[in-house]
Amino acid sequence: MSSQPATLRDSRSDKGKRDPDALPQPGLVLVFAQGQACCVPLPIPEGLPLELGRSDGSSALPIDPRMSRKHAAVSFDGERFRITDHGSQNGTHVDGVRLSGTIQSATARVLRTGDSVFLFCGDLRPFRKEGVCYSGDQVIGPTLREVLKQVARAAQFGKTLHITGESGSGKEGMARAFHSASANPSGPFVPINCATIAQGVAERLLFGARRGAFSGAVLDSEGLLQSADGGTLFLDEVAELDLSVQAKLLRVLETREVLAMGALKPRLVNLQLCTASHRDLRQEITSGRFREDLYFRISSPTATVPPLRRRLEEIPYLIALALRPFTARLTTHALFVETCLLRYWPGNVREFVAEVRTAAQEAFGRDATRLEPQHLSAHAGQPLERASEPPQSCAVIFHPPGHPPGHPPIHKSSKDLPDKARIEEVLLQADGNFSASARLLGLHRTQLMRLIDKYGIRVKSREQSLESDDES
């Protein structure tokens, strides 16, 4: 993307005094602007706030017509981001809640000003080096790029690689990268999901069989191990293999010989073996479902593909990827991007892309020209609070020292706690949503509930507040 929205005031007065890459660089990552996915790091100048607003044309940043000329400011105190709205016409939204005045937060994720969407970032250095790009049908951001480097090193120095990661996170893409970085990338790449193999068929499918080896074997059949000779065999969900098949696979790895069912002589094969599983193989060993000797043979090296909630910067690009068949008729609203960033996708990339395509079909059915949140199905994603771990990226979410990821800092002194008026103000902004209010105040939800009880605060929605104002 050639242009970049918002205005940025940067100070380089101390240039030359320190290495800019020596310390973490907090700021924002612009991920959606002018209706397009992008990845633009915006550092917070030392000692100054990062000013966001409509460009006057003197900046290299593009104009967002729905941003005020002086829209908002973001600063960082070493632990928390401080976000101030300058009375903007269209509002400043933090995690989907319109801001009034100023808030401080160590757990805020998404900022929206006008039609521009940002991620809060504790360290911009990975984004300054390399942003987000496409590699075929795969989206590669800074988080995933580090995994790809590990995979490439594994391919250069060995014949095996084990990949872990949640279902749908992109393990097959890593396996293909392993093959591409190998000494023989032109050789065959043979993938098989072991979870889809019927019981009792795995041995014949992997090792092949000679005629007469079993009832119905009227012809010789080549196994996947022989088919992958000179290339890479990818065994996804390897933990699903029977123990007997695991033993034969270990033999292949040790001798590089494959003995087909009913065969008298083994066949030499030269292949790389890439395995993957969403299960913890060490737990499978403890439960007796996986061979320890095979684990030691395939588990080093191991690459872990992070879930989508740790690669938030990729989401706008995945939306664009999913919409490629529809781009002639359908654009994307910033609210849709914001909504997707604030949801948890347990099926990761696979689920997310499928849901975006379903939403696009729904938009077409309604003769819409723009993809909006209401086009998502009622069951698309889940609130982030249900995630097994907090959403983050390698750099996108900042966690202050001493505070576990996903938990706001606990205020230890009563003078740090918000007063009754401030709590009432934020509750009104969040329309009575306790979880959103707690995030905006930098409190745990239970801590907020105690303060509500202490102050005797009556929680009202915005509509109820307006009604009471009218009555008075």
**What is residue 204's three-state secondary structure?**
helix
Structure tokens of 442?
């930098």
Q: Is the peptide bond before 301 cis (omega within 30 degrees of 0)?
A: yes
- State how far the Cα of 64 lies from the Cα of 34, in Å rounded to an integer: 7
Strands 92-94 and 110-113: antiparallel
The 3-class SS string of 144-189 reads: HHHHHHHHHHHHHHCCEEEEEECCCCCHHHHHHHHHHCCCCCCCCE
- State how far the Cα of 97 lies from the Cα of 114, in Å rounded to an integer: 13
140 backbone dihedrals φ, ψ, rounded to 5°: -120, 115
- State how far the Cα of 122 lies from the Cα of 28, in Å rounded to an integer: 8
Q: Please measure the distance between the N-terminal and C-terminal CA atoms of the chain and give it in whole angstroms.
A: 52
- pLDDT computed for residue 187 by the predictor: 94
Q: Which DSSP symbol is given to 302?
A: E
- State how far the Cα of 31 lies from the Cα of 118, in Å rounded to an integer: 6
- pLDDT computed for residue 261 by the predictor: 75
Note the Cα 464 to chain centre separation in Å: 37
The C-alpha torsion from 129 through 131 and 134 to 138, rounded to 10°, is 100
- State how far the Cα of 385 lies from the Cα of 107, in Å rounded to an integer: 12
Is residue 180 within 8 Å of residue 234, measured between CB atoms?
no
- pLDDT computed for residue 137 by the predictor: 85
Burial class (CB in 10 A: 0-12, 13-18, 19+), 362: middle
Is residue 132 within 8 Å of residue 317, measured between CB atoms?
yes
Q: Which of 134, 141, 147, 140 is nearest to 305 (CA)?
A: 147
Structure tokens of 207?
């090792």
Q: Which residue has the tokens 């909630």?
A: 309
> In sequence order, which residues have a C-beta less than 8 Å from that of residue 115 and are 6 or more positions away?
33, 34, 35, 64, 65, 66, 67, 333, 334
Alpha helices in 241-289 (DSSP H): 243-255, 281-286
| Identity of the residue numbered 247 | A
Residue-wise pLDDT tens for the chain (472 aa)? 434 444 444 444 444 555 656 788 999 999 999 999 999 999 999 889 999 998 655 454 667 899 999 999 999 988 899 999 999 999 999 999 999 889 998 889 999 999 999 999 999 999 988 889 988 888 999 999 999 999 999 998 889 999 999 999 999 999 999 999 998 899 999 999 999 988 778 888 898 877 655 555 546 777 899 999 999 999 999 999 999 999 999 999 999 998 887 777 888 989 999 999 999 999 999 999 999 999 999 998 999 999 999 999 999 999 999 998 887 789 999 999 999 999 999 999 999 999 999 999 999 889 999 999 999 998 898 876 655 554 554 344 333 333 333 333 444 345 567 888 878 878 877 777 787 787 777 777 778 888 888 888 887 654 444 444 444 4
- pLDDT computed for residue 461 by the predictor: 53
Burial class (CB in 10 A: 0-12, 13-18, 19+), 191: middle
Domains within the chain, CATH numbers bracketed:
1-130+311-405 (2.60.200.20), 142-305 (3.40.50.300), 410-472 (1.10.10)
- State how far the Cα of 191 lies from the Cα of 233, in Å rounded to an integer: 6
- State how far the Cα of 325 lies from the Cα of 250, in Å rounded to an integer: 44
Strands 116-121 and 110-113: antiparallel
Cite the beta strand spans of 3-131 per DSSP E: 27-33, 36-43, 50-52, 72-76, 81-85, 92-94, 97-98, 102-105, 110-113, 116-121
Longest CA span, the chain: 95
- State how far the Cα of 436 lies from the Cα of 408, in Å rounded to an integer: 12
- State how far the Cα of 90 lies from the Cα of 335, in Å rounded to an integer: 13
Enumerate the β-bridge partners of residue 140.
Answer: 133
| Identity of the residue numbered 405 | P
Structure tokens of 194?
């072991």
- pLDDT computed for residue 223 by the predictor: 83
Structure tokens of 388?
């097994």
> In sequence order, which residues have a C-beta less than 8 Å from that of residue 237 and are 6 or more positions away?
193, 194, 195, 276, 277, 278, 279
